[in-house]
Amino acid sequence: MKITDARVIVCSPGRNFVTLKIFTDQGIYGLGDATLNGMEKSVATYLTEYCIPALIGKDPGNIEDIWQYFYRGVYWRRGAVSMTAVSAIDMALWDIKAKLLDTPLYNLLGGRSRDRILVYAHANGANLGEAVENTAREVEKGFKAVRVQCGIPGVGNAYGVVTDKKPYEPAKRGLPPEEIWDTSLYLNYIPKVFGKIREVFGNDLHLLHDVHHRCTPIEAARLAKELEPFHLFWLEDPVACELQESLRLIRQHSTTPVAVGEVFNSVFDYTTLITEQLIDYIRMPLSHGGGITHLQKVAAFASFYHIATGFHGATDLSPVTLAAAIHFNTAINNFGIQEYMPHSEVVGDVFKTNYKFENGFLTIDDSPGIGVDIDEKAAARYPYITARLPVNRKSDGTLFNW
Ligand code: EZ4
Ligand code: CO
């Protein structure tokens, strides 16, 4: 079997997506998600100019060798752009192999370890009242786990909160908007938010919260400690952890579980975090973390340290990644939870999906491969629109982590 061609489809049904489609001489093609929010065209160019010419003629069945070719074989290893490209190639090759064998992807990853995938929803409120209302709405839809983000009095822009009552979408059209942030006001307020949410919803609803890299290690330790009575499912990205050792401080002070790594792209971002058991969930998604081939290794490594998966699943990851993640989560033993932020309806014009939400869980059907298809004619009706993530500043103007 040979790869005969591949192309990159860039489209914007409501938001930008980059999709790699690999064709073979058996008439089977595979899809991979190559979307890197706000940097879409860099991955598209890397794939088109550098990867695709080297892919043509290779046997798509040799997934491990092709992975190594685009990782080891490229002198400049790692980095978000190149790892997103490797991930998309890898995902498409697994899609091809499963389609060739006429079996759903999870079957090639070890078969079924569970029947359904626990997911968490998003509830964002401009203020506490709205956060309570929106949490109630997600609970009514059947969600058993909800990530709660809330506006902070006196803070211009809390992460993940919108003021126009529309669903939160990462990235805005045009140049990066600038936001204003104040950690001390946030730290004073957020325990009240979770106190109230627990009071209203009781103990059994799983609650999650994303700090989005905005605390120093000692601030994060204080936050994790003060949130401890509310028994979060997890506290996400409490610090910007280029320095993995900094997570030790949180562990020394609290039993709040920690989830890290939506911006990571290889196992080497995780080694200290995993071997010292400084985290509880790995967030690195299939589309940025080296695809199925690399995440299988990272998830297995994490499993020996009692760490589970909790893959990133915001709307800037395409339905191809979500479906692939459901297969992956179905197969592995150390699955924890999956983020599920449903795509807007217009995304369905382009991507035909095979998963279904019911009563707090996602399931996937048994169509061969990943099971998602792209309608290229529809994709052409939604051309790329520049959109960027915000830049964040402290109230005195200092540039900060977004
Ligand atoms: O900010 O996906 O947990 N989810 C998140 C996301 C990220 C966006 C960045 O593109 O932190 O909303
Ligand atoms: Co996050």
Q: What separation in Å is there between the alpha carbon of 157 and the centre of ligand 1?
A: 15
pLDDT reported for residue 157:
87
The residue count of the chain comes to: 402
Q: What separation in Å is there between the alpha carbon of 100 and the centre of ligand 1?
A: 34
**Residue 162 scores a pLDDT above 90:** no
pLDDT reported for residue 262:
98
pLDDT reported for residue 154:
94
- What are the extents of the domains in the chain? 3-104, 108-368
Cα distances from 377 to residues 10, 120, 345, 350, in angstroms, run 12, 33, 17, 8
Nearest ligand 1 atom, CA 236: 3
Q: Is 210 in the pocket of ligand 1 (CB under 6 A)?
A: yes
Q: What is the pLDDT of residues 174-203, one digit of tens each?
A: 999 999 999 999 999 999 999 999 999 999
**Residue 163 scores a pLDDT above 80:** no
**Residue 67 scores a pLDDT above 90:** yes
**Residue 105 scores a pLDDT above 80:** yes
Distance CA 369, CA 92 (A): 9
**Residue 164 scores a pLDDT above 90:** no
Q: String of b and e for 77-92 (b: at least 16 CB within 10 Å)?
A: ebeebbbbbbbbbbbb
Query: Regarding the domain with residue range 108-368, which homologous superfamily does it belong to in the CATH classification?
Result: Enolase-like C-terminal domain (3.20.20.120)
Tell me the average pLDDT of the chain: 97
> Which positions are annotated as active-site residues?
159, 212
Which bound ligand lies closest to the C-alpha atom of 37?
1
Q: Is 130 in the pocket of ligand 1 (CB under 6 A)?
A: no
**Residue 5 scores a pLDDT above 80:** yes
Burial of 57 (0-12, 13-18, 19+ CB in 10 A): exposed
Give the residue-averaged pLDDT of 253-263: 98
Q: Is 314 in the pocket of ligand 1 (CB under 6 A)?
A: yes
Considering only the top CATH level, what class is 3-104? alpha beta
Q: What separation in Å is there between the alpha carbon of 314 and the centre of ligand 2?
A: 8
Relative to beta strand 234-236, strand 258-260 is parallel
Q: What is the pLDDT of residues 24-51, one digit of tens each?
A: 999 999 999 999 999 999 999 999 999 9
pLDDT reported for residue 243:
93
- The model's confidence at residue 343, banded by pLDDT at 50, 70 and 90, is very high
Nearest ligand 1 atom, CA 315: 2
Burial of 359 (0-12, 13-18, 19+ CB in 10 A): exposed
Q: What is the pLDDT of residues 295-312, one digit of tens each?
A: 999 999 999 999 999 999
Distance CA 129, CA 140 (A): 17
| 128-132, 160-164, 269-273, 353-357: segment of lowest average pLDDT | 160-164
The stretches of 141-182 forming alpha helices (DSSP H) are none
How far out from the chain centre does Cα 381 lie? 26
Instruction: Please name the residue whose Cα sits nearest to atom 8 of ligand 1.
Output: 170
Nearest ligand 1 atom, CA 339: 3
Q: What separation in Å is there between the alpha carbon of 314 and the centre of ligand 1?
A: 6
- The model's confidence at residue 156, banded by pLDDT at 50, 70 and 90, is confident
Q: What separation in Å is there between the alpha carbon of 308 and the centre of ligand 1?
A: 19
Q: String of b and e for 278-310 (b: at least 16 CB within 10 Å)?
A: bbbbbbbbbbbbbbbbbbbebbebbbeeebbbb
- Ligand 1 pocket test: which of 147, 210, 214 has the largest number of ligand atoms within 8 Å of its C-beta? 210
- The model's confidence at residue 385, banded by pLDDT at 50, 70 and 90, is very high
The residue among 316, 325, 381, 321 whose CA lies nearest residue 344 is 316
Which bound ligand lies closest to the C-alpha atom of 313?
1
Q: How many CB atoms lie within 10 A of CB 4?
A: 16
Per the CB < 8 A criterion, the answer to whether 298 and 291 are in contact is no
pLDDT reported for residue 260:
98
**Residue 391 scores a pLDDT above 90:** yes
The residue among 250, 247, 258 whose CA lies nearest residue 281 is 258
Torsion angle of the four alpha carbons 299, 305, 309, 310, in this order, in degrees rounded to the nearest 10: -140
Give the residue-averaged pLDDT of 355-360: 98
Which bound ligand lies closest to the C-alpha atom of 170?
1
Helix axes 291-303, 80-100, angle to 10 degrees: 100
Q: Is 15 in the pocket of ligand 1 (CB under 6 A)?
A: no
pLDDT reported for residue 91:
98
Give the residue-averaged pLDDT of 132-153: 98
pTM > 0.85: yes
Instruction: Please name the residue whose Cα sits nearest to atom 1 of ligand 1.
Output: 170
